Structure 1
Amino acid sequence: MASFPNLTPSVQEALICPICRKGFTNPVSFECGHTFCQSCLLKSCQENSTPLLCTECGRINQLRAFQANASVGLTATAAPKQRAHCLQDPEGHGKCEVHQEVRKRLCGEHRRPICMACSQCQGPEAPILTGIDKAAEDFRRKLPETVKELCKQREKVARMLQHGKALLEKLQEEAEFQKKNIMHSFQKTFEFLEEEMEECMSNVEKQVRAQVEAQERRIAALVNQNQEFRKRITELEEECIKPDLDLLRNVREIVKRNESVLHQEPQNFCLKRIVCPIPAIIEAISRFKVDITLDPNTAGPGLIVSEDLKSVCRGATQGTSLNPSGGFEDLFLVLATQSFISQRCYWEVQVPGHTSWCLGVCNISSELENFFTLMAVDNGNGHSLYAISKSHLQQKTQQLRYLCTSESAFKVGIFLDFHHGDISFYHVNEKHLIYTFPTISLSGPYKPLFCLGTQGLVNDCSLTICP
């Protein structure tokens, strides 16, 4: 039987052919995994009829149903060489190339093995020498402690890993939980918004229905009054052609009847502005609020910009009005310092109640070829509001007359949304939309603009950007 004394018994057994009980020569393996020498296997095939029976596991294999096992062959070939090397150097230390002596000591400086002759050649200041066997034994005594510490650290890492995986699972569960909460909250919000929208629409219908009924009553009264006037006119015309005595006989009664009709003043039509406050809209767009300051260099003649650049008023001296291609007659204009090109922006402006004014945005050009504004014209009893715009798609200034009437100063909110092409104006005090321009294509930077009328009192006629 072959022997490999430098190997463990289990490894030795794995390198021996089960048939010849010697080291493998050209080993081959069956499908069951057991290995034999090729010559032993072929000899066994000649002596026995097919199919072959594996001597190790008893599995029946077909003839030639085996493959060469190169890895076992290489191991079996290297084992004798290792054994010869061990016979030359039983302790595995190797020999010194200079003195041809076995290296049995360890140089303390470089931790390399040297022979006894090399150690005697060391000077008085030579590093401390240690026997290899003793150094190895010392190191072996230390290794268990290191292994013990490594095991502790490994257990700690394993616990941390398990804890981390548990936290990850918990995080994923929390994310799913929060997603469900968000979906539920938004669904509830949509439900509330739909209910609020239906309520607002119903309020508008009620306001419209009430005004329609009132106007219908006024129309019916005017129709009756008109018919009564026609009747009196016909009666008077008939009286006028009567003889003198007949005319004078009924004159007092005729005058009395007509006086009562003449004293009935016809009722004028009066439409009230339909307003439906939506508080949530102001809170929603307020998160896009930006800081706006005025640019004194762009202020028209007669305008005075405050030191904090947040307010503009008309000076005592009148200047010439700015007329940039129509739409700004009798107005002094000043632009903001900031410009916007691709974002959502919102700002609020306190407007006066005793003069004309104009707010909006315009592109940055010397002639203001593109602008979208809300203009208030002072009519003596309040403001008539107009939406005025001009863009590269329009040949002339577009004007939508009479949006509503305002009788006092109030706060205007301007919302600019480049993504949706949206420019809207809000009545902040009453919390409702005044007007939004139809969806447009906004290109190029736009600046906020502010205008004050050239006519009217100087006092209490300032535009102030709200903080």
Structure 2
Amino acid sequence: MDIKSLIKNLNIELTCSICLDYFTDPVIANCSHSFCRECLLQCMWGAGDTLTCPECRQLIQISNLVPNPNLQKLSTAGKTIGPHLLQSMVALATCDQHWEKAKFFCEEDRKLLCDSCSITQEHRDHRILPLDNAIAEGKEKLQETSNMLQKKQEKFKIAFRCMRNRKIYFREIAYAFKESIINENEKMHQFLWDEEALYLQILDEESKDNLEEIEEKKTKLTQQIQNLQQMILEIEKRLDKNPLEMLQDMKNTLARNEELLSQKLEVSYPIWSICYITGLQEMLISFQRNITLDPDTANPHLILNEELNSIKYTSVPKDLPDNEERFDCCLTVLGTQTFTSGKHYWEVNVGDKTEWIVGICENSISRKETHSLSSKDVRTLMGFTSEKDFFLWNSQCGFYESEPIHVVGIFIDYEKGHIAFYNSIDGSLICSPPNIAFQGPIRPYFSSCYPNENSNSGSIIICSGSKSANDVNYYGNALNDK
């Protein structure tokens, strides 16, 4: 091996592979590679107590680093004698062609030249420098490059420290945001819990009042029944008397009878306070779906508009194909959409109709015969007017008196078997029956109900997903009527 290679190998052995300079305070890792202690510690910024070897990528435990004083001594010696070795190399340098002492350097060919080489035709137009000058220029350029790289390295180190600090900062900010979200939601939870407690208290009080009223009316009805029974017995006795006595007492008997007959029958229906739920409409609107009607399921007495979002009763049935999907007996039409999972919400504008039914049903519902609204495959809400009062009915919640409803919101959670009905005008809960698992695909259900002398012929309109009950223009008539 020539002296040039020996010096090169010596420099490699005495140089840190991270900073590419002679070792300073070298340490040996458990993988047998050596590095400057400071260089190695810089590599572990933000990495904890372990890092991977820059040479072989093996795991290094910082606690297992061993100082290497012998390598430090060799590195110091190499740093001291390095310039002298380079001068010796320059003194020993010879050209490849004439084996004479090299005195010049050709920049174009990157070759050492002797006196004879420098005057040959081969290097005539090349830039040839004295060897000392070439070495000086080379050192200067390398030093400039080294300085630029060091500045660049320092910028990257500063950026690295900034990123490390930013990582800590972002962790702190994320924690602060998380705490803020938790605190804000705790306040909202507490607010909702307080609302829940208040409504439950009101419900308990109303339940007590309704039960007392029912008990009072039961007692009154019992007394009225007893009075009627007594009157019936007296009349039967009068009928058994002789005609003259019967006619003499008939006036008083008929007067008492008229008084009893004029008594009104009072039946008590529970009236509940409206349950407003804060933030309900904002939550429901995120699950709103565009529902359209399936004309293949529509009863012949129902007229659907072109947009398939409105139904109206007609006394003259339309001539429609008698397909398997069509309802024959019930004034019913289903939505086109079928749900087998997820949460879904839609709104139905029933306007001033005096009788209507909306909700959902299982896709397997019978179409060719009358089906019961109390069956498990139908979950609906019915609204109807009786004389001057408006009532709501659900198979699980029963009958109860209510203010007229103009827009009904329907929410389902398929996985929970849950359905709930809302008054979309004021955002209050109408009823939420107990959860029962759905047995298959479900579809929106609409019924106009058969008209009578007290009912009107208004339409049922499915609200589009782009409109809600808060849209005053869309629901202006319903709001004004209310």
Structure 1 length normalisation: TM-score?
A: 0.63
- Asked if 1 retains the 8 angstrom alpha-carbon contact of 2:238 and 2:246, the reply is no
User: d(CA) in 1 for partners of 2:367 and 2:226?
Assistant: 57
Contact map agreement 1:107 1:128 (CA 8 A) in 2: yes
Following superposition of structure 1 onto structure 2, how do residues 240-389 of structure 1 map, counting pairs within 5 Å? 251=249, 254-255=252-253, 258=256, 261-262=259-260, 265-280=263-278, 281-295=280-294, 301=300, 303-314=302-313, 317-319=316-318, 329-336=329-336, 338-352=337-351, 353-363=353-363, 371-374=377-380, 376=382, 381=387
Deviates more, 1:204-213 or 1:298-307: 298-307
1:100 corresponds in structure 2 to 99
Structure 1 residues 104-130: Cα deviation after superposition (integer angstroms, max 9, x where no partner): 433323434444444433447743233
What amino acid maps onto 1:262 in structure 2? L
Cα distance change of structure 1 residues 436 and 112 upon mapping to structure 2, 3 Å threshold: farther
Give the aligned partner of residue 47 of structure 2.
none
Query: In structure 2, what is the equivalent of residue 420 of structure 1?
Result: 416
**Candidates 408, 411, 417, aligned match of 2:407:** 411
Partner of 2:463: 465
Distance 1:217 1:298, change over 3 A: closer
- CA displacement at 1:333 relative to structure 2: 1.7
- Identical positions, percent: 22
Partner of 2:129: 130
Contact in 1 for aligned 2:391/2:400 (Cα 8 Å): yes
| Change over 3 Å in CA distance of 1:294–1:121 after alignment to 2 | farther
Distance (Å, rounded) in 1 between the aligned partners of 2:250 and 2:341: 80
Counterpart contact for 1:424–1:437, Cα < 8 Å:
no
Q: Which residue of 1 aligns with 2:90?
A: 91
Q: Which amino acid aligns with 1:203?
A: I
C-alpha distance in 1 between matches for 2:236 and 2:176: 88
Q: Is the 8 A contact 2:289 2:344 kept in 1?
A: yes
> Does structure 1 conserve the Cα–Cα contact (< 8 Å) formed by 2:94 and 2:101?
yes
| Shift in alpha-carbon separation, 1:371–1:441, aligned structure 2, 3 A | closer
Aligned counterpart, 1:432:
429
| Alpha-carbon distance in structure 1 between the residues aligned to 2:187 and 2:179 | 12
| Contact 1:412/1:428, CA 8 A, preserved across alignment | yes
| Paired position in structure 2 for 1:198 | 197
What CA distance in whole angstroms lies between the structure 2 residues aligned with 1:442 and 1:285? 24
CA change 1:188–1:279 in 2 (3 A) is same
Letter in 1 for 2:275: P
Partner SS, residue 359 of structure 1? strand
**Tell me, which stretches of 5 or more residues in structure 1 are unaligned?**
1-5, 15-68, 388-398
Matches within 5 A, 1:439-450: 439-441=436-438, 446-450=442-446
Which stretch shifts more, 435-444 or 411-420? 435-444
The unaligned stretches of length 5 or more in structure 2 are 1-5, 15-67, 468-482
- Mark the CA change 1:343 to 1:113 in structure 2 (over 3 Å): closer, same or farther: farther
371-380 vs 270-279, which moves further: 371-380
Q: Deviations over 1:61-120 (max 9, x none)?
A: xxxxxxxx9x98xx8xxx9xx99x979964167434432234443332343444444443
Where does residue 61 of structure 1 map in the other structure?
Answer: none
Distance in structure 1 (CA, Å) of the matches to 2:316 and 2:362: 27
What is the letter of the counterpart of residue 279 of structure 1? I
**What's the CA shift for 1:451?**
4.1
Pair 1:275–1:283, CA change in 2 (3 A): farther
Structure 1: how far apart are the matches of 2:237 and 2:299? 68
**Is contact 1:349-1:465 (8 Å) kept?**
yes
Q: Match of 1:91, SS? A: helix
Any idea what SS the aligned residue of 1:284 has? Answer: helix
Structure 1 Cα separation of the partners of residues 440 and 239 of structure 2: 75
Distance (Å, rounded) in 2 between the aligned partners of 1:169 and 1:405: 61
Q: Which amino acid aligns with 2:284?
A: I
Which has the larger displacement, 168-177 or 130-139?
Answer: 130-139
Q: Distance in 1 between matches of 2:238 and 2:444?
A: 70
The alpha carbon displacement at 1:137 in A equals 0.8
Measure the CA separation in 2 of the matches of 1:192 and 1:182. 15
8 Å contact 2:298–2:326 — kept in the other structure?
no
- The count of corresponding residues between Structure 1 and Structure 2 is 380
Residues of 1 paired with 2:130 and 2:440: CA distance? 86
SS at match of 2:329: coil
Q: Quote the residue 1:159 is aligned against.
A: 158
Question: Quick one: distance in 2 between partners of 1:301 and 1:255?
Answer: 56
Q: Residue deviations 1:183-213, cap 9 Å, x none? A: 2222222222222111111111222222222
State how far apart, in whole Å, the 2-side matches of 1:265 and 1:375 are.
34
Give the distance between the partners of 1:248 and 1:329, measured in 2 at CA: 55
Q: State the distance in 1 between where 2:268 and 2:189 align.
A: 37
**Structure 1 141/124 Cα, relative in aligned 2: closer, same or farther at 3 Å?**
closer
The structure-2 alpha-carbon separation of the partners of 1:183 and 1:442, relative to structure 1 and needing over 3 Å to count, comes to farther
Q: Paired residue for 2:42?
A: none
Aligned-pair distance for 1:347?
Answer: 1.4
> 2:243, 2:308 → 1: CA distance?
82
> How many Å separate the matches in 2 of 1:316 and 1:229?
44
Q: What CA distance in whole angstroms lies between the structure 2 residues aligned with 1:168 and 1:365?
A: 59
Q: Deviation of residue 216 (structure 1)?
A: 2.2
Q: 2:55 maps to what in 1?
A: none
Asked whether the 8 Å contact 1:286–1:346 carries over to 2, the reply is yes
CA RMSD between the two structures: 4.9
Secondary structure of 1:175 counterpart = helix
Where 1:170 maps in the other structure, the secondary structure is helix
Measured after TM superposition, the shift of residue 271 of structure 1 is 0.9
The offset of 1:168, in angstroms, is 2.0
1:212–1:163: structure 2 CA closer, same or farther, 3 Å change rule?
Answer: same
